[in-house]
Chain A
């Protein structure tokens, strides 16, 4: 027993296998997700919009998925493939923890996502299954270790983000703002308290939505906030709508 859940699955693998006519499949890959370090850990956030071409497919999509008690995945790309990858990882991590009686190490979790992306090579190259996720996690076995953000290219290469990472069609403007704030912000995002960081996350998504039609669903005036989760050594915390509303108002951002 090696604790490898994927070894139990049928040989064709858990991910969708499409035929030669796959190019005709409608693409659903515009989105905005991002993660950055703050004083309390890592903030990972995303909007709620899923699009199909020029159509708004849904404004209630959850793109920040909990993989286990200490790791999160933000999905950008084709939802069918991305959700299946998340589900596969959720089962794999729990299977390993239960069967081996210890949690999988953080590097192994990071690598597991990389492996799924690489196994999805055919879908990526043909364009119908492209996924570019962000991973954020804390090492369960080393409680003093700093939580980490990793971003991936669609072929599976992984990169650790020193301060922040973004993915999806609206991430360009968000990364530009975060880069600016890391250099000249006062406080820098990495030093921000949780309320400050949550308000920043919502402001970033509103900014991204100004330039990207595929980013949307964040309207603080209507109590529509981003999906925001925090991962730290003590685990994952979901920031509720009520909390975000409070943070937003207390920071004086309510207009």
Chain B
């Protein structure tokens, strides 16, 4: 009996190690709050990393496709039930993540005889102005942090994610067009994938608008769209 807590801690440790191993090779996803709306960006194979969740809500995720899909479906169901039962304005990330998704992720993570969610994600909620946008970083174990800077990314390596985030937050100017914002994200993407340092990284004069051989997935939660739906796929040129 006295060994049980130790075994449980060991199992949880093993589980973290397993998830970290499974996440290796995953590429980062980004969310940036801009005057036009919230830009969500990733490099995938089309409908694999960037998703619409509800009228003003989007998701960018990396990890196991099946787990991303499970998380996405759970969020869509919870959001639509809430919007239908009350009002679309009552669908907020605060409630969706705090009371539905993070609980589910933590529960799944701690059920040591069941497979965990192998997903790292960024969630976005569009406000009336950039200052009212909400970005949330949600980890595989349900732990989540609310962003106040308007820039967020999710990656499979926490330390590199932190470096990239610090660098990114210094790069954006309010007058940057969306294409340039996306290009800066792609510079960070390439640097993370190439496992290079951010210390002396500079944005090139003509930053890349694409990644050779890869498909860029981008969407905008558009502040100016008429009607209830604000999500639209974005073609970066």
Q: Which residues of A contact B (CB under 8 A)?
A: 1, 5, 8-9, 14, 66, 69, 87-88, 91, 94-95, 98-99, 101
Q: What number of B residues sit within 8 Å (CB to CB) of A?
A: 15
The CA-CA distance from A88 to B80 in the complex, in Å, is 11
Contact residues, B50-100 vs A (CB, 8 A): 51-55, 73, 76-77, 80-81, 83-84
Asked if B229 contacts A95 (CB within 8 A), the reply is no
Asked if B73 contacts A8 (CB within 8 A), the reply is no
B46 to chain A, nearest CB (A): 10
Task: Give B54's nearest chain A residue, CB to CB.
Answer: A98
Pick from B47, B53, B54: contact of A101, CB below 8 A: B47
B123 to chain A, nearest CB (A): 14
Pick from A1, A69, A87: contact of B84, CB below 8 A: A87
Asked if A95 contacts B47 (CB within 8 A), the reply is no
Pick from A1, A66, A69, A95: contact of B80, CB below 8 A: A95
Q: Which residues of B contact A (CB under 8 A)?
A: 47, 51-55, 73, 76-77, 80-81, 83-84, 227, 229
Between A91, A98, A99, the greatest number of chain B beta carbons within 10 A of the residue's beta carbon is seen for A98
B217 to chain A, nearest CB (A): 12
Asked if B73 contacts A1 (CB within 8 A), the reply is yes
Asked if B229 contacts A69 (CB within 8 A), the reply is yes
Please give, as numbers and ranges, the residues of chain B lying within 8 Å of A95 by CB-CB distance: 76-77, 80
| A94-B73 contact, Cβ under 8 Å, with A69-B229, A101-B47 | no
Please give, as numbers and ranges, the residues of chain B lying within 8 Å of A94 by CB-CB distance: 55, 80, 229
Asked if A99 contacts B73 (CB within 8 A), the reply is yes
For this complex, 24 residue pairs linking A to B, each with C-beta atoms less than 8 Å apart, are A1-B73, A5-B80, A5-B84, A8-B77, A8-B80, A8-B81, A9-B84, A14-B84, A66-B227, A69-B227, A69-B229, A91-B83, A91-B84, A94-B55, A94-B229, A95-B76, A95-B77, A95-B80, A98-B51, A98-B53, A98-B54, A98-B80, A99-B73, A101-B51
